[in-house]
């Protein structure tokens, strides 16, 4: 099999799924009907796993902004930011992001994944030390590997364990980079940011917070966990994505360190990746304005999140520790979880299937993500379908 031999484990797993008549990782959406519904396999399905937290993918203002940009600037930039790929809109979005966070500098990347790759691998080099939460996103792990720095994992959301590991570093802790996430994508739990900021003041390390799943969700203005716990000025780098609450694709980093601008000249994922299309930039700029201008969508999102979380608890399911728009349902064995996912799908509800090693601690999860676009009736439908499942 040559190079493909290393993929034999995946081939075996796919055969096992085929025996069950399940292919949860290749669901084809034939037609998007609304932010919360789609046509899949010829029938209407309720979407409860899209990360479309504010439901802005169908907002007419965002759509019109994207259409206008396409008509006037074309379908793509056909170049990287360092070549011909920096349009006026890219610079304007960076200025607006910096103003949104009250920071001096911002960089826009082509995706959220690329933002983490670019920032981590550029800021750190072999000989440096990075401390990351054990449940960090794959983009954080990959950025750390690309940097060649020493990687130390601390227990998930355990500030005491981080304290121990920093203590062992001695004076090296002052040069270390600690990376956490605002809301973790698998269980929907928040990082203990206030406790970690206290450690930062004790040891003097650098701190990066990935607000991918908390931008638009947490804080009075939707700026994420850094705003919710009033620690914005204590964080060195805030990274995030446009592919969740802002309903598009792309990534960013904001900071008060003026040296952030130098990352543009050293980050391979910035220098050698085509820049986001004019349509994407325009829709994100409009979505950011909507996010900043009011909290009606966020209030609706949180009503839906509590409705689903509390309803599943009432049904007897074990969930992630915090009610957030990411509602993770612990299931039984991998086989039981697969069959439950299939049952929900056949009843017209799509959720995310999370199996080891992606799921924490070797567990299997059915992961729901709630949107402000969900109606009360749709949340009740999701609960009704879950009530028919066997509770492990």
68 is catalytic: no
- Structure letter (DSSP) for residue 277: P
The single residue of 136, 173, 185, 277 carrying the catalytic annotation is 185
Query: Distance of CA 262 to CAs 127, 134, 259, 270, Å?
Result: 21, 29, 5, 11
Active site residue 334: no
Q: Determine whether 164 is an active site residue.
A: no
- Specify whether the CB–CB gap between 124 and 266 falls below 8 A: no
- Give the integer Cα–Cα distance in Å for 45 and 60: 23
Round to whole Å and give the CA distance between 250 and 108: 7
* Tally of CB atoms within 10 A around 290: 20
Q: Are 238 and 219 in contact (CB under 8 A)?
A: no
- Whether 337 and 364 have beta carbons less than 8 Å apart is answered as yes
- Assess contact for 208 and 237: CB atoms under 8 A: yes
Sheet (strand 352-354) strand order: 326-330, 365-369, 352-354
Two tokens, residue 323: 């009610």
Gyration radius (Cα) of the chain, Å: 21
Q: Round to whole Å and give the CA distance between 212 and 240.
A: 4
How many residues are listed for the chain in this entry? 392
Residue 189: DSSP 8-state: P
Catalytic residue among 137, 156, 200, 213: 213
Active-site residue among 200, 244, 307, 374? 244
Residue 312: DSSP 8-state: H
> Which residues are tagged catalytic?
185, 213, 244
């Amino acid at each position: 099999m040559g190079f493909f031999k290393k993929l034999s484990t995946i081939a075996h797993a796919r055969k096992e799924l085929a025996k069950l008549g399940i292919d949860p990782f290749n669901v084809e959406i034939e037609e998007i009907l609304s932010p919360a519904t789609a046509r899949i396999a010829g029938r209407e399905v309720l979407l409860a796993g899209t990360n479309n937290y504010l439901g802005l993918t169908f907002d007419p203002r965002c759509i019109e902004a994207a259409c206008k940009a396409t008509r006037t600037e074309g379908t793509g930039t056909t170049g990287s930011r360092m070549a011909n790929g920096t349009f006026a809109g890219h610079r304007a979005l960076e200025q607006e992001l910096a103003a949104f966070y009250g920071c001096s500098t911002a960089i826009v990347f082509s995706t959220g994944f690329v933002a983490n790759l670019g920032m981590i691998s550029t800021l750190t080099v072999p000989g440096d030390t990075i401390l990351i939460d054990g449940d960090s996103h794959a983009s954080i792990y990959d950025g750390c590997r690309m940097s060649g720095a020493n990687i130390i994992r601390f227990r998930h959301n355990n500030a005491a364990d981080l304290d121990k590991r920093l203590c062992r570093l001695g004076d090296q802790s002052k040069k270390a980079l600690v990376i956490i996430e605002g809301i973790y994508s698998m269980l929907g739990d928040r990082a203990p940011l206030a406790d970690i900021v206290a450690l930062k003041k004790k040891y003097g390390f650098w701190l990066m917070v990935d607000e991918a799943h908390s931008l638009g969700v947490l804080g009075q203005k939707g700026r994420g966990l850094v705003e919710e716990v009033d620690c914005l000025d204590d964080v060195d780098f805030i990274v995030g994505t446009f592919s969740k609450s802002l309903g598009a694709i792309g990534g960013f980093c904001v900071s008060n360190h003026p040296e952030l601008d130098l990352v543009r000249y050293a980050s391979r994922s910035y220098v050698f990746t085509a820049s986001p299309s004019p349509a994407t930039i325009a829709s994100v700029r409009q979505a950011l304005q909507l996010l900043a201008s009011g909290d009606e969508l966020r209030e609706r999102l949180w009503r839906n999140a509590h409705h689903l979380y509390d309803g599943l608890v009432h049904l007897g399911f074990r969930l992630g520790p915090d009610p957030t728009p990411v509602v993770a349902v612990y299931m039984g064995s991998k086989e039981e979880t697969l069959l439950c996912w299939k049952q929900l799908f056949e009843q017209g509800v799509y959720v995310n299937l999370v199996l080891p090693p992606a799921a924490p601690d070797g567990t299997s999860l059915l992961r729901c993500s709630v949107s402000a676009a969900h109606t009360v009736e749709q949340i009740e439908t999701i609960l009704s379908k879950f009530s028919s499942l066997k509770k492990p």
